[in-house]
Amino acid sequence: MKHLLKLREIWLFVALAAVVIGTTIRSPAFGAPSNLLGIFNNSSMLIVLALGQMVVIITRSIDLSMAANLALSGMSVALINAAYPEIPVPVLVGIAAACGTALGAFNGLLIWKLGIPSIVVTLGTLTIYRGVIFLIAGGKWVNADQLSPAFIQGTRLNLLGLPLLSWCAIIIALAFFVMMTRTALGRSIYAVGVNPTASVYAGINLGKTVFVAFCISGLVSGLCGYLWVSRYVIGSVEVAKGYELSIIAACVIGGVSIAGGIGTVVGTVLGALFLGLINSALPVINISPFWQMAISGAAIILAVVFNARGERRKGRIILKNARSDP
């Protein structure tokens, strides 16, 4: 029982339940199954992106360019669809995923081969990718009237009572769970984060593992590029601007350590759902947008403090303080 109470996932689940119950008391419609499913659907892309960021953070790195990658991949397929509407949607999804993977691989190569810190690389590519969007689109937006009906309806299809967007989040979360807990790649990612030096002695290629992690984050960013443009029916340089902060926040709230080596798929999913739930609940109880930002920021700070306390280890006392001896 004590072990269960120490699990971050248990406390996150309790917090989610408390928010739902508390908000439902104020507004009964909030707790309706259809509304909760809608909140999950709205949080789907955040879940997918947070899982990609989780893999990177566990390797002691960070990817600040995920939202820009999403925007560039989404704009690319939006422009292709506007020019060639006869191209099937699955092909466009593949193009978006390939584009995102290539952009993630570019980040990974710079970090791996040149030894540049990930925060510096991705901060630079964030700006570069946004600039490329402006260049390829000529500063214009892609609107609903330029996109094909099949492109727009892709995320709105329903399967067994759930939108396709929600199914994407569920399937990708399961894939990440299997990868991180049942494969050699997942074990290597954790090993690199826990102790890079020991990982090298164990035969793990440190740079290659980090490179693969950035390819994974790029892949999910590219996939979400299509999902974002299809759902919100717009492609522009402003798409998902600032969203990288929400992605990192979801990871931190979910128990992913910024220092690397610690984090779970379940925790990350719950962290993303917590952010999505808070953003939906606060307007219902008439809290202004300014307080919403403050409360979200406070939740992040509390999560960081909680993580730091959980990671703290007592050192072994070899020599006692001389003044304590009789």
* Per-residue pLDDT, 310: 63
Domain annotation covers residue 5: no
Q: Are 260 and 59 a contacting pair, CB within 8 Å?
A: yes
Mutual angle of helices 89-114 and 66-83, in 10-degree steps: 140
Domain annotation covers residue 95: yes
Q: How far is CA 274 from the centre of its chain?
A: 13
Domain annotation covers residue 9: no
Residues in the chain: 326
With a CB cutoff of 8 Å and minimum separation 6, the contacts of 220 are 48, 49, 51, 52, 100, 172
Q: Are 83 and 313 a contacting pair, CB within 8 Å?
A: no
Q: 34 burial class (0-12, 13-18, 19+ CB within 10 angstroms)?
A: exposed
- What is the distance between the alpha carbons of residues 82 and 147, in angstroms, rounded to a whole number? 5
Place of tokens 């969203």: 243
- What is the distance between the alpha carbons of residues 297 and 129, in angstroms, rounded to a whole number? 27
Domain annotation covers residue 260: no
Domain annotation covers residue 291: no
Exposure class string for 138-168: b at 16+ Cβ within 10 A, else e: eeeebeeebbbeebbebbeeeeeebbbbbbb
- What is the distance between the alpha carbons of residues 212 and 201, in angstroms, rounded to a whole number? 19
- What is the distance between the alpha carbons of residues 193 and 177, in angstroms, rounded to a whole number? 17
Residue 147 carries which DSSP code? S
Helix (H, G, I), strand (E, B) or coil at 163: strand
Total domains present in the chain:
1
Give the residue among 7, 39, 54, 11 at the shortest CA–CA distance from 176.
54
Domain annotation covers residue 256: no
Place of tokens 């419609």: 29
What is the domain extent for residue 223? 40-249
- What is the distance between the alpha carbons of residues 134 and 79, in angstroms, rounded to a whole number? 12
Domain annotation covers residue 32: no
**158 has which bridge partners?**
163
Specify the pairing of strand 162-163 against strand 158-159: antiparallel
Helix (H, G, I), strand (E, B) or coil at 211: helix
Q: How far is CA 174 from the centre of its chain?
A: 15
DSSP assignment of 25-91: HH-GGGGSHHHHHHHHHHTHHHHHHHHHHHHHHHTT---TTHHHHHHHHHHHHHHHHHH-TTS-HHH
Domain annotation covers residue 78: yes
Sign, Cα dihedral of 271, 273, 278, 279: positive
Per-residue pLDDT of the chain (326 residues; tens, 9 = 90+): 444 445 778 888 888 899 899 889 888 888 889 999 999 999 999 999 999 999 999 999 999 999 999 999 999 999 999 999 999 999 999 999 999 999 999 999 999 999 999 999 999 999 999 999 999 988 888 888 889 998 988 888 888 888 889 999 999 999 999 999 999 999 999 999 999 999 989 889 999 999 999 999 999 999 999 999 999 988 888 888 888 888 998 999 898 988 888 899 999 999 999 989 988 888 888 777 677 677 767 777 877 777 766 665 444 343 444 444 44
